[in-house]
Amino acid sequence: MSIKISLAGNPNSGKTTMFNALTGSSQRVGNWPGVTVERKEGKLKNDPEIIIQDLPGIYSLSPYTLEEVVTRDYLISGQPDVIVNIVDAANLERNLYLTTQLAELNIPIIVTLNMIDAAAKSGITIDVEKLEKELKCPVISTSAVRGNGCDAAAELAIKTAATEVSPRKIFSEKTAAAISEIEVLLSHVPANNRYWYAVKLFERDGKIASALNLAPETMTKIDRIISDREKAENESSEAIIASERYNWIDNVIKAAVDAPAGKPDNISTKIDSIVTNRFLAIPLFAAVMFMVYYISITTIGTIGTDWVNDVLFGEWIPTWVNSALAGAGTAPWLQSLIVDGIISGVGAVLGFLPQMMVLFCCLAILEDCGYMARVAFIMDRLLRFFGLSGKSFIPMLIGTGCSVPGIMASRTIENESDRRMTVLTTSFIPCGAKLPVIALISGALFNDAAWVVTSVYFAGIAAVVISGIILKKTRLFAGEASPFIMELPHYHRPLVKSVLRTTIQRGWSFVKKAATIILLSTVVIWFLQNFNWKLEMVNPDQSILAALGSFIAPLFSPLGWGNWRATVATITGLIAKENVVSTLGVLYGVEETARTALEYRIRQEYSSIAGYSFLLFNLLCAPCFAAIGAIRREMMSARWTIFALLYLTVFAFTASFLVYQFGILISTGLWNWQTLVPAFILSGIILVLLFRRNPYCGKDGKSALDLNEKRLK
């Protein structure tokens, strides 16, 4: 008989780590909320009969966000056989709040004290036996990252699944009596969930009340019961329930936990006092990112990339393939397809793999040690200062890998207009696939300078902030920013295993894409570039592609790169952003594909300002099809999707136009009024949009910010 085990717990308590340990799979782990937005299922490693489910992290069963709804609906209707409630042993008090709610569900439950290693380091000791007695359920200590106790926890869960449960009742006598009275009125609700529904009704949970479809007279009776309690306590029923839960937790903690007084984990606190310092935080973040790009783009990564490009794809492979094909007597067109098409295109992209791997590795280290969670916190402060939701930064952080999961992570945002805004702006942040374009341009025109890459990332952040400010003042997006509260994980030495896993996963998906979608695109591009409408093989200048590209190209002249090759590269970027480079590789690929050769051609054709403008446009404009699909799914509307794509492209166009025009003005000192007049007018409009008073001004929701600040102190 199969058993369903659900892993439930607060965000960041280690559920996915546990899931991976139990099932042997490698789901994405991240130390910020919102990484797991969908339920994932797997089988226990040694027993396919046991099904393990990883649920999105939640703080309570009163859902405010989409991920909380996912988890709650599942727990109530799907009925797992047993819940493994994963709690962060170092933050027991906050984590037990959810435990008190899960314990009411009438599903067998065990509690795992995860991160017991971190708790021990901060000097916290927990008396497991006493805790079991208080919680009335089995408790076990685990350290999911190290794999300690995971199998034992699974065994314990399986054993517990077969046991009977009676809901734990943790409320004061009077509240419990009121809940029982409500229970009596719920005769049509299945008996096993009745208690839980009664508590929710007592809390005046509107969603539950309408879902149960109670008769009006029953509702009146329930309302009287609640009002009586509220009058007696002089508090709202929701507050009564919450404070009674916390009272109960307080007693449990007093009985079973021994923690040192004062703020534990001094090292983390000390580091945070510098890293999240009001004035130092952003410069430090910029410096860290600069170092990352310096290492991956300018120094170490370049050595690898240069070798792959210049030697492997530049000499060895073409020479070898050429001679092999010539030896086999291959037709010239096929030889051209393979060497000028596939090797030039795919090679141009794969050439950046070493740089990307070093970059992914650096980012994974920053992520794993806990720094990226601080960045989210810092960005929250920055975004909130502009009246935006700090929660938007998590999707962007995830979006540095790939926009698709980034856009999906917007589900953690409860406020609908903030969520839409996040879906809209997440792809401004350069994803991994855009990196080759950045590396190509910075290599060809800026001597691999790390500041170019850093500036591009900050341009992405600026685009988000500017869009946020402008859009927040429109009717479509008006409203208060959602509060954002997150746990800051303890700093720890990055684990080689998880850093390698993230790096290899991302690197591998890059290679997979190069071998499929990019390969296919290069074949199509090669074909369109070598044939005319009559399907005769011609010079590239007379090809179908040249005709199409030249038709659209003038549009991009004001941006400084209105030629057909750059235009075509930009358009193929819609299929996948790696295509921008592979297309340039095919279109400029003369005899050899060496990066230096491609870079040489680019240096010949573009000024550095035009190159930067090209780069900027490609980073900010509509994302690839996969991300457009994600936008469509998350927006749940075609009109919103079209709006998003138009907005992104218009924004990109404006940004590149201004950068190019003012760049030319500053570097040459020439006043070309024809283009400068529109540039000045545009800048004026943007400034007005940015600084006009917000006609929909509400309070800027400082409370959540203060909460986060307090937590740090």
Q: Could you tell which of ligand GDP, Mg ion, none binds residue 143, using a CB distance below 5 to 8 A set by kind?
A: ligand GDP
Q: Could you tell which of Mg ion, ligand GDP, none binds residue 414, using a CB distance below 5 to 8 A set by kind?
A: none
Q: Looking only at Cα atoms, what is the longest distance across the chain?
A: 95
For 622, the token pair is: 């509509």
143 touches ligand GDP by CB under 6 A = yes
Dihedral Cα 271, 274, 280, 286, nearest 10 deg: -10
Task: Report how far residue 63's alpha carbon sits from residue 152's, in angstroms, rounded to the nearest whole number.
Answer: 31
Q: Could you tell which of Mg ion, ligand GDP, none binds residue 199, using a CB distance below 5 to 8 A set by kind?
A: none
Least distance to ligand GDP from the beta carbon of 37, Å? 11
667 neighbors 692 (Cβ within 8 angstroms): no
Least distance to ligand GDP from the beta carbon of 33, Å? 7
| DSSP element (H, E) containing 7 | strand 3-9
Tell me the window of 27-35, 190-198, 240-248, 301-309 that interacts with ligand GDP (CB under 6 A).
27-35
Tell me the window of 29-37, 178-186, 285-293, 579-587 that interacts with ligand GDP (CB under 6 A).
29-37
Give the one residue of 58, 124, 126, 144 binding ligand GDP; rule: CB under 6 A: 144
Q: Which residues contact 491 (CB under 8 A, 6 or more apart)?
A: 267, 268, 271, 369, 370, 371
Measured from each CB, the residue nearest to ligand GDP is: 14
Residues that bind Mg ion (CB under 5 A): 16, 35-36
Least distance to Mg ion from the beta carbon of 576, Å? 27
53 neighbors 154 (Cβ within 8 angstroms): no
Residues comprising the chain, all counted: 713
Amino acid at 682: L
145 touches ligand GDP by CB under 6 A = yes
Q: Which residues contact 75 (CB under 8 A, 6 or more apart)?
A: 6, 8, 55, 61, 83, 102, 105, 107
Residue 340: alpha-carbon gap to chain centroid: 37
Least distance to ligand GDP from the beta carbon of 17, Å? 3
Tell me the window of 111-119, 298-306, 564-572, 702-710 that interacts with ligand GDP (CB under 6 A).
111-119
701 touches ligand GDP by CB under 6 A = no
- In the chain the first and final C-alpha atoms are separated, in Å, by 51
Q: Which residues contact 102 (CB under 8 A, 6 or more apart)?
A: 8, 61, 75, 83, 85, 109
698 neighbors 479 (Cβ within 8 angstroms): yes
Q: Could you tell which of ligand GDP, Mg ion, none binds residue 115, using a CB distance below 5 to 8 A set by kind?
A: ligand GDP
Least distance to Mg ion from the beta carbon of 15, Å? 5
15 touches ligand GDP by CB under 6 A = yes
Q: Tell me the β-bridge partners of 110.
A: 84
Q: Which residues contact 434 (CB under 8 A, 6 or more apart)?
A: 577, 618, 619
- Short-list 240, 215, 214, CA closest to 226: 240
Report helix, strand or coil for 198: helix
459 touches ligand GDP by CB under 6 A = no
Q: Could you tell which of Mg ion, ligand GDP, none binds residue 492, using a CB distance below 5 to 8 A set by kind?
A: ligand GDP
Task: Report how far residue 184's alpha carbon sits from residue 291's, in angstroms, rounded to the nearest whole number.
Answer: 65
340 touches ligand GDP by CB under 6 A = no
Give the one residue of 6, 23, 31, 425 binding ligand GDP; rule: CB under 6 A: 31
Give the one residue of 82, 118, 358, 559 binding ligand GDP; rule: CB under 6 A: 118
Least distance to Mg ion from the beta carbon of 240, Å? 32
Tell me the window of 26-34, 249-257, 331-339, 510-518 that interacts with ligand GDP (CB under 6 A).
26-34
The smaller minimum CB distance to Mg ion, of residues 35 and 137, is found at 35
For 361, the token pair is: 């590795």
13 touches ligand GDP by CB under 6 A = yes
Least distance to ligand GDP from the beta carbon of 495, Å? 7
Span 42-71, contacts to ligand GDP by CB under 6 A: 57
Contacts 24+ apart (CB under 8 A), 134-137: 134/251, 134/252, 134/255, 134/256, 135/99, 135/103, 135/111, 135/168, 135/252, 136/103, 136/168, 137/103, 137/108, 137/109, 137/110, 137/111, 137/168
How are beta strands 47-54 and 257-258 bridged, if at all?
A: unpaired
Span 495-514, contacts to ligand GDP by CB under 6 A: 498
Give the one residue of 6, 23, 36, 567 binding ligand GDP; rule: CB under 6 A: 36
# of chain residues touching ligand GDP (CB under 6 A): 24
34 touches ligand GDP by CB under 6 A = no
The smaller minimum CB distance to Mg ion, of residues 36 and 579, is found at 36
Query: For the chain, what is the radius of gyration of the CA atoms?
Result: 29
- The footprint of ligand GDP (CB under 6 A) covers 9, 11-17, 29-31, 35-36, 57, 114-115, 117-118, 143-145, 489, 492, 498
